[in-house]
Amino acid sequence: MSNIEHAGPERIQDGFSPQASDLHSGNEHPSINFPFNVVIDGRSYEGVSLSMAAAKITGLVAPGLTQGTRLAMFRFDFGTFLFSLPIAVIIDKANADTGEIDLTYAEPAGPHMPQLRYLLNAWLAGDVINLHDILQAKSRLPRMGGNQQSHAPSRRLAARFMGVAISVVASALLVFGASWLIAARLYQHDVEGPSMAVWTGPLLRATTSGQLSFFAQNPSNAQPLYTIESASGASVTTVLPCDCAVREQYATQGATVLAGEPIAQLNSPDGGLVVEALLTPSDLNALSDTATIVMTAADGTVHRVNLNNVKTKNAGADPSSAMLATIKPGAALAPSNANKPVRVTIDTTPAPIAAITDVGTEAFSFLKNWKP
């Protein structure tokens, strides 16, 4: 049990040598210079060094001091207060000529250990010592110089910087996550109807049922492209309607085709792929002048366009029915996406929320692709 004694303002501060002491032999706890006194059997001794397992003091050696275990009162001077800590000690060595006495704690892990460890740690760190909110005092002797003093502030600064950095990152993740959830739940609408990437240009279909008896290779404008022999023996020939080329041929020569079946896909002069999407009334209600249409192709590429790039093929039809719309991407789609499904999303996210989600997406993409 520890106690605090009032010493009075007239107490004289004793001098103390700042020379560092050696390690105490027989234990791994380092001894440090710490201003203290020890009272054993009513006689006061001046402290030389102190550790968690032993202490070294000096003074007039009393006869029979080395016999048995003694209760020593360790006193630490804090100016107008004395902090007393009783510790049971074993006197290992007492030199009557030099007055040096070596003490070993009978129970190093006894009740005194928390208080003693706190005092030593606070003294080494040079921090304010606070004992049960009663006593506060700073170290009165010169601190240990060298690298220990220079490294301690830098470590504390690094720890503080890491804490701030972690807080900033966590806050940014929280803001990005909230913005992403709000945008996904409230402002993004996936088109319900099917969407496909198709070639631009006219699609030629069979005008009658029969056998495809002829299909020209690399014809010119207004020249015969293919001929179908009907069951009645009549021949129906279709000419190339434009100055364009055949992008895809769906029926081979000699095959039997039905009326309305696609025969050939022509490539328009500008070429390229467009997206044909079947827009339901729910999709049409989500469209607005400020909406952004986001298309994700089969190869994973993402294309953003506005409402000006959408053209309906059956404008004026019953609004309760679906409308086929052609969406032209801002950048050319890769030919490998032809006749493959495309995911179309109508995005009406406000600009501030969209900016936050874009920054977060770019940051995640950078971290994902970053290589040390």
Q: What is the Cα–Cα distance from 328 to 310, expressed in whole angstroms?
A: 7
Q: What is the pLDDT of residue 183?
A: 57
In sequence order, what are the residues at sequence separation of 6 or more whose Cβ sits closer than 8 angstroms to the Cβ of residue 31? 21, 22, 23, 24, 49, 50, 51, 54, 55, 56
Interior/surface letters 87-113, b for 16+ CB within 10 angstroms, e for the rest? bebebeebeeeeeebbbbbeebeeebe
Q: What is the pLDDT of residue 212?
A: 92
15, containing H or E segment:
none
Is the pLDDT at 241 greater than 90? The verdict is no
For residue range 297-319, list pLDDT tens digits in order. Answer: 888 888 888 766 666 655 444 55
Q: What is the pLDDT of residue 315?
A: 43
Can you tell me the mean pLDDT for 170-198? 73
Here the contacts of 286-292 (C-beta below 8 Å, separation 24 or greater) are 286/189, 286/346, 286/348, 287/346, 288/348, 290/348, 291/346, 291/347, 291/348, 292/346, 292/347, 292/348, 292/349
Q: Which position has the higher pLDDT, 111 or 158?
A: 111
- 60: tokens are 């007039």
Residue 46: φ, ψ to 5°? -85, 135
Q: What is the Cα–Cα distance from 227 to 231, expressed in whole angstroms?
A: 13
Q: What is the pLDDT of residue 24?
A: 42
Q: How far apart are the first and last CA of the chain?
A: 57
Q: Which position has the higher pLDDT, 183 or 290?
A: 290
Lowest mean pLDDT of 126-135, 203-212, 270-279, 352-361, name the range: 126-135
For residue range 222-237, list pLDDT tens digits in order. Answer: 889 999 999 888 899 9
Neighbouring-strand partners of residue 249: 264
Q: Which position has the higher pLDDT, 355 or 61?
A: 61
Q: What is the pLDDT of residue 185?
A: 62
Is the pLDDT at 2 greater than 90? The verdict is no
Helix (H, G, I), strand (E, B) or coil at 357: helix
Confidence of residue 6 (pLDDT cuts 50, 70, 90): very low
Specify the length of the chain in residues: 372
For residue range 312-339, list pLDDT tens digits in order. Answer: 655 444 555 677 788 888 788 888 888 8
Q: What is the Cα–Cα distance from 251 to 238, expressed in whole angstroms?
A: 14
With vertex at residue 224, the alpha carbon angle to CA 222 and CA 225, rounded to the nearest 5 degrees, is 105
What is the pTM (predicted TM-score) of this model?
A: 0.39
Q: If you average pLDDT over every residue of the chain, what do you get? A: 76
Residue 335 per-residue DSSP state: G
Helices (H) and strands (E) in the chain, counts: 4, 24
